[in-house]
Amino acid sequence: MNPHTLDALDFNILSCLQQDGRMSFTVIADKLQVSIATVRTRVNKLIEDGTISIIGRVNPDKVGFNAYAHIAVYVRPATLKEKVANKISKYKEVSFLALTSGDYDLEVDVMCRDNDHLVQFVNTISKIEGVYQTKTTIYFKVYKYAQPDLDLLK
């Protein structure tokens, strides 16, 4: 499946699961006025095609991640962008990684135990071949940490 083949029922099921990833198929079926078998079939297809994965989402503050940061990574020469991104993506601290346009090449969000851990991480990625420069912005307080709102696609 791709976004163009998802129908209204798929989006409604996804919305239910975003509210509560443990919501039973029975409850979803009741809410959406469809059969439990329909919900089960749809959810299984969404999982199989990678549209959704059911996970326990951890509140980083509650479990001991006390240093969040955004790291802008500048890569030289530009031909090393993919190689650098692949290396950075393997680090467990990385929660988000994207190739960007504009002033820097890669945007990296990380969650670390504390500032010492963050400094160690930044020093580690700075040594990767092709990393020319990094700029780190520490998030002092996160006000919102959410999944995309599927209603925006309607």
For residue 138, name the pLDDT band (cuts at 50, 70, 90): very high
* Domains observed in the chain: 8-48 (1.10.10.10), 65-139 (3.30.70.920)
Task: Quick: pLDDT tens for 44-95.
Answer: 999 999 999 988 888 888 899 999 999 999 999 999 999 999 999 999 999 9
Evaluate the CA torsion angle 121, 126, 130, 134 in order and state its sign. positive
SS3 content of the chain, % helix, strand, coil (to 5): 40, 20, 40
Nearest to 74 by CA among 133, 137, 136: 133
Model confidence at 1: pLDDT above 60: no
Task: Quick: pLDDT tens for 102-131.
Answer: 999 999 999 999 999 999 999 999 999 999
DSSP-assigned beta bridge partners for residue 134: 73
